[in-house]
Chains A and B, each alone.
Chain A
């Protein structure tokens, strides 16, 4: 006796890939248009991408909510579903659930200076916030962008980054962990080396940091040295996720507070999660 249920959280939304591009060997970018209109997300949120018959994975929305008509994803080949997604091209139908999660605090940050720091794939979710700030330039003060990745070959969104670099009122720096390409004009070294040089008025600055777990510890230590309050350091954390709705239990963060990464996050203030065992 099986009955169809209306409004189940498992019901899917459908869309079409209107553009796809290979950004690096392992990362593929998609522009997706939904049948039912706008995705309706805010910067920092994610969706569950549903590859029917293969599985589902949480993926950050990489485009800003100021972009209308379609939304963007950038997916790294990491396992079963994400490898399958590398085969998708323009015209392919995709199904999703979401958007899910707590967005970056765009309202609270208004009127403040912003420091954006991303390591590796962290640029994918942070890009939604950076472009949001660019499109609402008058709402925010001075903007610093510090990005890092492994080698110049791994740089994502190169053209867009060049645009940011040349915009007025934006302080931009890029570093790669290692490099043997003489044409590389950016810095070499870990992303933490970019922070001491930033000129910051800590009380009126929000730092938004996204990167792999290992990066947080060191970057946050540098930001704290700059005296940025713990409530003004914003992170986006990654956890194993299965539902995106605060039910499956997978994404629980080990901290004295009871946080589900999918629902209470993925964006958190450092203050919220500073006692977590791992970030």
Chain B
């Protein structure tokens, strides 16, 4: 795939060209050091030096709340229509950790039976990644997870080389778009050398945050199944579900029906759920398969560092640090991993 150059002064022209074709969202400031992906019309609305957004881009693939079915039970025979509201969308400035998160969700929702709603949105998304040249903050564990470098999953990928961005195409659609812009020449060998140098420098900046190879983690989780770490987390955790809401790879959901005021028509909603809620694994009859908070926290960690490794040969933590940043009880993923490793390796 080809590589191109985008001068920073041409960024606005780039965004404008993109908006001619589709809606464009990018990180914008929400004050107080918080950022969110939101619609933009010009480059000056976005902030490219940002720490992970409050919600990851998953909100565009699997909205917090979505209608999946409309029904009408007024006649003799109920009618139903499966619906989605996918529209062409460019997501600009997606960090490598979040690209990795989208790849995880793609795996889950494309697995048979495919999730038609998710796939409809995914197929209309145009992803433009952005490399991190330095850490966002002390909560990230992207070097541990190997997500501080690009690993596919984008149409175009930008690396800041100072005056300009090096823009790598990842798909035909990405390459076509860049080729069509007369202000985006192909990258020269000097540009590529500058990229290599930047990647080399990153090695000194990004260091495995828990100083243990990620491949050891599934074993650590096996051995630490009864660790006191889980009880400690359970003591402090408030079961608020913030950590799962903000996680780029959490996708568990709830379904519910709503009747309109005519009591005849209505719709079925899919909504984010959280394994941290007490009722998540509760069944009629009163049996609760994860009654205590420590068990629910262990479950969340297993679904990042153990189960998906068996199932998809992939870790479902991108090291983005959102769960730690958002936790009301100040529980840290990095510290939890460190304690587990210390005890069980």
Binding site for B on A (CB under 8 A): 1-12, 14, 51-56, 78-79, 82, 93, 95, 212-213, 238-240, 242-243, 245-250, 252-254, 256-258, 277-278
Contacts and interface: CB of A to CB of B under 8 A. Distances in A.
B78 A256 contact: no
B284 A78 contact: yes
A11 B280 CA distance: 25
A49 B189 CA distance: 62
Contacts of B284: 78-79, 82
Closest 4 CB pairs of A and B: A249-B252, A8-B82, A78-B284, A258-B307
B273 A248 contact: yes
B116 A55 contact: no
Contact of B113 (A5, A6, A51, A245): A245
Contacts of A239: 281, 283, 289
Contacts of A9: 113-116
Contacts of B263: 53
Contacts of B85: 1-3
Interface string B300-322: 00110011101100000000000
B71 A52 contact: yes
15 contacts: A3-B83, A5-B82, A8-B82, A8-B116, A9-B114, A10-B268, A52-B71, A52-B73, A55-B255, A93-B77, A246-B111, A249-B251, A249-B273, A250-B252, A254-B299
B225 interface: yes
Contacts, number: 141
Contact of A2 (B76, B83, B109, B259): B83
Contact of B251 (A2, A247, A252): A247
B120 A5 contact: yes
B343 interface: no
A36 to B, nearest CB: 13
A2 B282 CA distance: 34
A2 B69 CA distance: 11
A242 B255 contact: yes
Interface string B96-118: 00000000000011010111110
Interface residues of B, number: 59
A256 B188 CA distance: 51
B319 to A, nearest CB: 21
A147 B163 CA distance: 78
Given A10-B69, A256-B222, A278-B287, 11 more contacts: A1-B85, A4-B82, A5-B82, A14-B78, A52-B80, A52-B266, A95-B78, A245-B113, A246-B113, A248-B252, A252-B299
Say whether chain B's binding surface is mostly helix, strand, loop, or mixed: mixed
Contacts of A12: 69, 78, 80
Nearest to A82: B284
B225 A256 contact: yes
B290 interface: yes
B84 interface: yes
A257 B266 contact: no
B275 A249 contact: yes
B87 interface: yes
Contact of B83 (A4, A238, A252): A4
Contacts of A258: 306-308, 310-311
B180 to A, nearest CB: 25
Contact of A53 (B68, B71, B251): B71
A252 B303 contact: yes
A239 B287 CA distance: 9
Nearest to B75: A93
Contacts of A14: 77-78
A249 B259 CA distance: 26
A247 B108 contact: yes
